[in-house]
Amino acid sequence: MTASDKEFSGSIPEFYDTYLVPLIFDAYADDLASRVASLEPKSVLETAAGSGVVPRALASRLDTDARYVVTDLNQPMLDHAAIKQGPDERIEWRQADAMNLPFDDNSFDVTICQYGVMFYPDRSQGYGEARRVLKDGGSFIFSVWDEIKANDFADIVTQVASDVFPDDPPNFLPRTPHGYYDHNQIRNDLDAAGFTDVSIDSIEETSKAPSPRHPAIAYCQGTPLRNEIEQRDASLLDHVTDRAAEAISERYGEGEVAAKIRAHIITAIK
């Protein structure tokens, strides 16, 4: 992971929420919300909340007296999430580093993180912090994407970007969001943090979009891949997006498109 992998600023949060969230996050957010709600927690901590897709799925399923603390390292994304969520006295929005959580030991029934641990600079440390703030018997539930070859739209966009910049291919997608999928590695990192009761579910969904251009914009302009493209040649951002849309169209046709997407959902008990 590079420093730019964590830069969700400028217009990225809006593109992310408008294009990427319905494309790949909504179905998994609903699944995560159902898992958390089934535990009937009175206190929930979310790290790396991004644009707030999980709070929008989860908040309505929590008890009226539940406490839900939503955090992210990136303030622009957190601001966007709070605005999209609307007023809710149960939710506290707080900028926080998952590597050094500003909460007491044994504070939460559940800690969650949807597609954020891949951005942790030290996963065992981040997992250790999640465990520290959990009450005994509490659950740490998080999700990661499977390898990029199991996620078709992301794979196509990566290939197109590599074709445009063959001497210095932008590798944000395979390097970071799709770079942490090995079950043994995940278990080892959790073990190093003190978790011993770990289960992993692999879930395949269908990623749907109203047109080939939708996923092209989602990945090229709604993720830090945009930063990588602009660092190489900012004038080619629209060109890469157009080429990606063409490649998706060639494979899936015009109009609504649908492709395979796959993720792992991990539950660790303290």
Domain that holds residue 147: 3-269
* Cα(186)–Cα(124) distance, integer angstroms: 9
Total domains in the chain come to 1
Mean pLDDT of the chain: 93
Q: Provide the greatest CA pair distance for the chain.
A: 55
In this predicted structure, what is the pLDDT of residue 86?
86
Decide if 86 contacts 60 (C-beta within 8 A): no
Residues in the chain: 270
Q: How crowded is residue 207: how many other Cβ atoms within 10 Å of its Cβ?
A: 21
Nearest to 188, CA basis, from 268, 129, 105:
268
Question: In 29-87, at which residue ranges do the beta strands (DSSP E only) sit?
Answer: 43-46, 67-72
In this predicted structure, what is the pLDDT of residue 11?
53
What's the mean pLDDT in 95-104?
Answer: 97
pLDDT tens track for 125-165: 999 999 999 999 999 999 999 999 999 999 999 999 999 99
Q: How crowded is residue 202: how many other Cβ atoms within 10 Å of its Cβ?
A: 12
* Cα(55)–Cα(73) distance, integer angstroms: 16
Is 223 buried (19+), middle (13-18) or exposed (0-12) by CB count in 10 A?
A: buried
As given in the structure block, the two tokens for residue 145 are 């994407």
CATH code: domain of residue 120: 3.40.50.150
Beta-carbon contacts of residue 83 (< 8 Å; ≥ 6 apart):
none
**Residue 253's Cα: distance from chain center in Å?**
28
Interior angle at CA 160, CA 155 and CA 162, nearest 5: 95
Name the residue type at position 18. Answer: T
pTM score, two decimals?
A: 0.91
As given in the structure block, the two tokens for residue 81 are 């999430």
Decide if 111 contacts 133 (C-beta within 8 A): yes
* Cα(173)–Cα(210) distance, integer angstroms: 22
pLDDT tens track for 193-252: 999 899 999 999 999 999 999 999 999 998 889 999 999 999 999 999 999 999 999 999
Residue 68 confidence (pLDDT) above 80: yes
Name the residue type at position 228. Answer: E
